[in-house]
Amino acid sequence: NLGLLGAPTAENLLHPSEDFLDSRWLKQPGVSVSSNVVPSVFAGELADRIDWAAATVGTGLYTQNSYIVSAVIKNTKTISIRADIAGGTVDVVDSYLSIGTITHVLSTDWQIVTLSEIQPGGKAGLWVRKTANSPDSIYLAAANIKDMPFATPPIVTAGLPITAPAHKIRSPGCGQL
C-alpha cells in the first residue's frame, strides 16, 4: 500500500472475464467454446478454446451486455489471446459501437490485445471476430473492459465486480505490483 489518497483504481466491468461458456458471451453461428482446455495466462488457471472452423468470416463471440463507460474519455478493452499455430489473425472490436478494429497477428504465446477508444454512446462491449486468416480455433483468457484511457494489468472476475487499487492488480509474470 502506497498510502496515496485518491490513488487510481481499476475495475473490470466485464463479468465474467474468463468463462466464455457463460450466456453473457454470445456465440454466433458456427462458434463453440470448450472450457478450461489449456493453461491460462495466469498460473494455476485454465483458458477456453474457441472453435470456429464452421463460422463465417466476420463472426465470433461477443459480450451480450453493453457496459456503461464515459462518452468523452477513452475506455480500454483487453483480452489475452493465443493459438496453436502462429501467423493467423483475429479482429478485436467493440461489440456495441465498432469505431476501431485491431487486427491481431496470433502467436503460440499469450498476448494481450488492447483496444482503447472513445465510445460516444457511453456504452462499450467486446467482440472477437474471425478473419479470412484465422485458424480453426484460438484460446481466450482475461477479458477486460475498463472505463479508463490506459491499459492496466488484467483483472479476473468470476461474475462479481472486482475493483482493485492500481498498485495491487494481478499482472502475468509480475506477481503483485
Q: What is the DSSP string of 144-166?
A: EEESSSS-------SSS-EEEEG
Which of 9-13, 69-73, 153-157, 165-169 has the largest mean confidence? 69-73
**Residue 175 three-state SS:** strand
Set of cell numbers at residue 123: 456504452
pLDDT reading at 62 higher than 70:
yes
- Closest by CA to 29, choosing from 68, 4, 72, 59, is 59
Distance CA 157, CA 8 (A): 19
Contact 119, 146 (CB under 8 A): no
Mean pLDDT over the full length of the chain: 83
Backbone torsion region of residue 105, taken as left when φ is above 0, otherwise alpha when ψ lies between -120 and 50, otherwise beta: beta
Percent helix, percent strand, percent coil in the chain, to nearest 5:
0, 45, 55
User: Which residues have CB under 8 Å from 56's CB, separation 6+?
Assistant: 29, 30, 130
- Predicted TM-score (pTM) of the model is 0.82
Within 13 Å and on the Cβ side, how many CA atoms surround 110?
22
Name residue 113's beta-bridge partners.
Answer: 79
User: pLDDT category, 103, cuts 50, 70, 90?
Assistant: very high
Q: What are the distances in angstroms from CA 72 to CA 11, 30, 68, 97?
A: 18, 36, 12, 14
Distance CA 108, CA 81 (A): 9
User: pLDDT category, 61, cuts 50, 70, 90?
Assistant: very high
Distance CA 11, CA 140 (A): 20
